[in-house]
Amino acid sequence: MLDRRLAALDDAVAAMAQTRDFGKHLKLRLVLDSLRRVLVAPGGCAAVQARAAALEDAGLFLGTDWASPEILVPALSGNSLHSADADTVLMEAASGLRLLAVATGDYEHPRISAEDAHQFLSQVLAMNLELLFTPPSEAERTTQGRTAQLIRDLVGHIGAQVGYGSVLDRLVEEIWRILRQRPIQVDGVQDMITRIAVYRGDPDVDLGSAGQGVDRLITSLFGTTEACREDPGLEVYRSRLEAMDAGGLQYEAAGFARAMHDTGLVSPYHAELLRFLIEEGDFLIAEALGLSSTGRDCLLRFHDLVHRLITEAVHPQTAQSVYGLALLLDRGILYEPAVAPALWRQLGLVLSPHAQERLATAFGPVPAPPARLLAGVLSVLGLPLGVGQGDNPTCQSARALSMWSYNDPDYLLQVLVWAARDDEITMHFEGQPISSRDSAGGVATTLPTDLDPVSLLVVPHLDRIYAEMGRRCADRPGDPHRWVNPEFHGWWSGRGFRINVDVGTGLLTDLDEFLRHFYASYHPAYNGDQPVIHPQPAGVAVTDSGARYVGWHAITILRAGPDPQDVMRVYFYNPNNDSGQDWGDGVVVSTAGHGERFGEGSLPFDQFASRLYIYHYDPFERGDPDAVPAEELDRVLGYIQRSWGADRLPAGALQAARGPSGGPEPQ
């Protein structure tokens, strides 16, 4: 049977190969149909792997993202495998088998090495471990039919050749990389750890060198202390707590606190312990939260408030709020006059029916929506840089929530009350009110669902308001961010504004002035060693790992300074859930190891400047633009020319930017 199907596939591939490029799409249907029949047959994956070069040479990937394997993203590959569109799955399968042929040395590809192909497949496997060990769910069978089993055969075939040990190594490494950024939403990470806990008992799974890291992750959720080592269940654990003396409880509290601050993850047992300790005294609560001296002072000063927050917000289902509460107390923001009263108001807030429905739909009915929202408040106030935009084009709104939590927490709490109680937020643009209820749509075409509880309620309103502010200055010359950002984000946003892109043509303009003033505003060597006082909104031109332009993106500049290796860096907040990105040409955003605090991304100053296209500054605090050396600007210009600026530089722009003395061309 397989032989006949392979013969049909070979004929279809030969016909496509003989067709000129403009007509290859006419042959695609026959190739895909033949490919599907081969892949669902036993031995089909190996047969397609052997034909990988022929498939690519024939033009199967022509005109698609799969034509450039060196820029493919493992996470998107997993999404394609789960697609309800069978053709997408088939194309992804063919691409994966092509990379497997490259990784095993059977296909020497001109654009990707065997090592890179192996690493890519390891990441794909690491992100799709459930396909290795679990049968198709009912939902998969309904939406994908026989394709659901096809992708499991595919992943199993790839795993058998790439090796499962490397899969788990990569998975554990990826989990720790994500956790070092301290995101608020960790459901995906917890799911991966749960799967690993199940897989660890499988004798066919080799943990390899990942064993120790795996144990730390698993115990952080399921067996953090001796009293819950075997994951006995919450009822049994509660009974054990009731039998402990003060010394035993302190030992439990300290164990959970260490694990929480080590990983950023909170066990449901930790939440149960904290609820139990309300009756035992603030010393043990402070131990369980792992508080600093500032946090302990806040706990004692605001004793009643903290106890109410624990009672109402901390449940096994909202265990992550424990970490948010600990960091909130350590930040000392309860000493700001308006924050404690605002939290008391939040405790008694009556949510609108719409808000309750949104929360219950996204997170379930237990605990009740008010408790779920309060838990989200603790997380957002404790981890301002952990706010993420989810799979939504709402980076401006996520940035605003993060900035308010970081810089103006009582305003964030006020905005949340308007959204949760009134289903409306009103902000002002140049003295004129803008209502989210009356505004037209924003950049998001559907209501987001993959956000934390606070963002879930607030972001749709902010999205509409931000878009309306843009519409109100659409007829003004230049970029609307000049006027919108300070009105939207807050008074501390610098009123000085620079952009290096001509809005009408999209071409780069005034590069020398743009870069010199950026250095003079933010680089300590040229701005009188003035630190960044308030977070500042900025915009970057995001590029892919091939240094090709992807799109504009909103970020926050947090600070600039030397890293432990004495390299001057810009530290910034990126709302896209994962700051660690490869922007091509050696520009790789770091999230740890270069002096980053939790939630920050960083780049060397010149690399950051090369992706910057908008920034705000205080026009009354000017540094010394003329002191920036030409060789520094040359490096930045080289990065720009080799990436997103390649098609945006007008004739002679690079020479004009360097000045009459010129300079070496970027290599």
Distance CA 432, CA 294 (A): 41
Sign of torsion over alpha carbons 48, 52, 57, 63: positive
Backbone angles phi, psi at 210, to 5 degrees: -85, -5
Cα torsion at 170, 173, 179, 180 (round to 10°)? -140
- Tokens found for residue 344: 């008391």
Write down how long the chain is.
Answer: 667
Percent of the chain with pLDDT over 70: 92
Q: What does the block give as tokens for 288?
A: 């369980």
Is the pLDDT at 434 greater than 90, yes or no? yes
Query: In Å, how far are 29, 60, 329 from 19, measured between CA atoms?
Result: 14, 12, 68
The more confidently predicted of residues 428 and 441 is 428
* 211: pLDDT strictly greater than 70: no
Q: What is the pTM of this model?
A: 0.80
> What's the rounded Cα separation, in Å, for the pair 397 and 403?
10
What's the Cα-to-Cα distance from 341 to each of 244, 335, 413, 477, rounded to whole Å?
Answer: 36, 11, 10, 43
CA distance 353 to 355: 5
397-433 core/surface letters (b: 16 or more CB in 10 A; e: else): bbbbbbbbbbbbbbebbbbbebbbeebebebebeeee
- Average of per-residue pLDDT across 174-187: 89
- pLDDT tens per residue, range 362-383: 999 999 999 999 999 999 999 9
Cβ-defined contacts of 20-23 (< 8 Å, 24+): 21/59, 21/62
Q: Is the pLDDT of residue 410 over 80?
A: yes
One-letter-per-residue 3-state SS of 290-324: CCCHHHHHHHHHCHHHHHHHHHHHCCHHHCCHHHH
Per-residue pLDDT tens digits for 312-367 = 999 999 999 999 999 999 999 999 999 999 999 999 999 999 999 999 999 999 99
**Sequence spans of domains, the chain:** 2-162, 223-335, 338-373+382-472, 496-658
Dihedral angle computed from the Cα positions of residues 339, 319, 217 and 123, in that order, rounded to the nearest 10 degrees? -80
pLDDT value for 334: 96
Element (H, E) at 429: strand 426-429
**CA–CA dist 121, 132 (Å, integer):** 13
Q: Give the pLDDT confidence score for residue 511 in this predicted structure.
A: 93
**Whole-number mean pLDDT of the chain?**
88
State the Cα–Cα distance between residues 565 and 644, nearest whole angstrom: 28
Query: How distant, in Å, are the alpha carbons of 2, 226, 515, 603, 621 from that of 636?
Result: 56, 54, 8, 12, 23
**Which among 580, 657, 644, 654 is positioned nearest to 612, based on CA atoms?**
644
Closest C-alpha to 265, from 373, 161, 197, 176: 176
Higher-pLDDT residue of 504 and 610 is: 610
Taking the CB of residue 254, how many other CB atoms lie within 10 A of it?
15
pLDDT of 656 over the 60 cut: no
Rounded-to-integer distance, Cα 117 and Cα 115, Å: 5
- As a whole number, mean pLDDT of residues 8-29 equals 88
For residue 202, pLDDT beyond 60: yes
The pLDDT tens digits for 515-546 are: 999 999 999 999 999 999 999 999 999 888 88
Nearest by Cα to 168 from 117, 219, 132, 115: 132
Helix runs in 441-599, H state only: 453-472, 481-489, 511-522
The dihedral formed by the CA atoms of 204, 122, 172 and 211, expressed in degrees to the nearest 10: 40
Q: What is the C-alpha separation between 653 and 650, in angstroms, rounded?
A: 5
The CA-CA-CA angle for residues 542, 548, 550, to 5°, reads 40
CB 67 within 8 Å of CB 126: no
- pLDDT band of residue 662 (cuts 50, 70, 90) is very low
Would you say the C-alpha torsion 523, 524, 529, 535 has a positive or negative sign?
Answer: positive
Q: Are strands 536-543 and 496-499 parallel, antiparallel or unpaired?
A: unpaired
Residue 449: C-alpha distances to residues 150, 339, 403, 530, 547 (Å): 30, 28, 21, 41, 31
Rounded Cα–Cα distance for residues 4 and 10 (Å): 10
Percent helix, strand, coil in the chain (nearest 5)? 55, 10, 35
Between these two residues, 155 and 567, which has the higher pLDDT value? 567
- For the segment 89-93, the average pLDDT, to the nearest whole number, is 91
Q: What pairing do the DSSP bridges indicate for beta strands 601-604 and 568-573?
A: antiparallel
C-alpha span between 561 and 557 (Å, rounded): 12
Q: What value does the mean pLDDT take over residues 432-436?
A: 93
Q: How many other CB atoms are found less than 10 A from the CB of residue 29?
A: 11
Mean pLDDT score, 54-77: 87
Confidence of residue 651 (pLDDT cuts 50, 70, 90): low
Q: Which two tokens stand for residue 97?
A: 């088998």
138 pLDDT band, cuts 50/70/90, is: very low
